[in-house]
Amino acid sequence: MKTSKKALICGILAAISLLAACDNSTSSGDSEISTPGNFVNSPSSTDSTSSGETSIPTNEEVGITSSKPREIKGFEGNVKPVTPKEGDLIATFEIEDYGTIKAVLFPEAAPLGVENFQKLCDAGFYNGLKIHRVMKDFMIQGGSKTGDGASSKDAMVKDGEFGIETAQNARNFYGALCYANSGGMNSTQFYIVNNKKPNDIKTEFDPEVYKNQIEQGKLAIKQAEDDGDTAKAETARQNVQYLQNQLDWVNGMTDEITKKYTEEGGVYYLDGNYTVFGQVFEGFDVLDALSEVMVGDNGRKEVSKPVVPIIIKNVTVTAYDGTEPAGSSGDSTASEPVDER
């Protein structure tokens, strides 16, 4: 069981790497954060030293921080069923040959993220761009300026990019609208979670395995620092911080959050490391149809590139006036897949 869960962690972070909006100087399919597999084979991950005992560095000594999910008074996010109310900001995605997806935005949880997205939409940034990555039971991803997943600093807030914004009740449930990021910085790329399979968190997630991987990672950081390899130390530090955030956010789940992941699906292990700035409430049939398209190798040994390009006709953000019928992310009839292709 322990070994399989260690393998699960490696697989999880390998999958997460596809959400990176990668720098042009690197392979656009690789995250700048390595997987825990590097820790397992690291010379510093042994169980003993010449004196017979290994001293694990503290988080402070290696620059790792623990985080408690941020509570926002009165903000229910996407933990409760999401139905738009008058005045809510609504993002409408028009996908050529597929239809429309609508999402409520969460300025309370991600003020910079929502401001940036609205400005990009108003400027027509997304018009004609592609959904360049599709992975069934995980997510669809788009918004790359070059169409191949390469990162850019085209955000319309800060200096073209901005940091991750998180909140306790903004989670990676099925239909969550989120930012892909590169090295923890958001810009223009987004993803929508398409996994409807139940998340068996109690079986899959073993805190002790995570704690062990974090300890090994801290040893790797310290070893790299002792060797004067600052680049390697920073890569290991980012990796360990990822794991620490995952551990903190799973430990911080309420019973209600755990129950929703179990019943409605999502990708719980992304919580704490990505900005969730909205939730789909209408167009689940379109999301499901997009998730079923034929995909091929994207040139980086990842089977995720749509064989037939998926074009974003446009994305708009408007205030909901309460006059249009609206589905709900918590309404089972709204989330049933309908194949209209």
Domain contains 226:
no
**Averaged pLDDT, 18-43:** 37
Residue 283 zone, left/alpha/beta (φ > 0; ψ -120 to 50; rest):
left
Domain contains 61:
no
Q: What is the pLDDT of residue 19?
A: 62
The average confidence (pLDDT) of the chain is 85
Q: What is the pLDDT of residue 202?
A: 87
Domain contains 54:
no
Domain contains 269:
no
Q: Which domain holds residue 160?
A: 89-198+276-319
pLDDT at position 1 over 70:
no
CATH code assigned at 113: 2.40.100.10
Domain contains 134:
yes
What's this model's pTM, rounded to 2 decimal places? 0.85
Q: Using one digit for the tens of pLDDT, what is the confidence trace for 180-190?
A: 999 899 999 99
The SS3 of residue 142 is: strand
Q: Using one digit for the tens of pLDDT, what is the confidence trace for 51-64?
A: 456 799 999 999 99
| CA distance to 84, 143, 163, 258, 313, per residue, from 180 (Å) | 24, 9, 11, 23, 20
pLDDT at position 191 over 50:
yes
Rg value, the chain, Cα: 20
Q: What is the pLDDT of residue 34?
A: 27
User: Could you give the number of structural domains in the chain?
Assistant: 1
Domain contains 162:
yes
DSSP lists the bridge partners of residue 103 as 91, 280
Q: Using one digit for the tens of pLDDT, what is the confidence trace for 262-321?
A: 999 999 999 999 999 999 999 999 999 999 999 999 998 999 999 999 999 999 999 999
Q: Using one digit for the tens of pLDDT, what is the confidence trace for 204-224?
A: 999 999 999 999 999 999 999
Domain contains 212:
no
pLDDT at position 337 over 70:
no
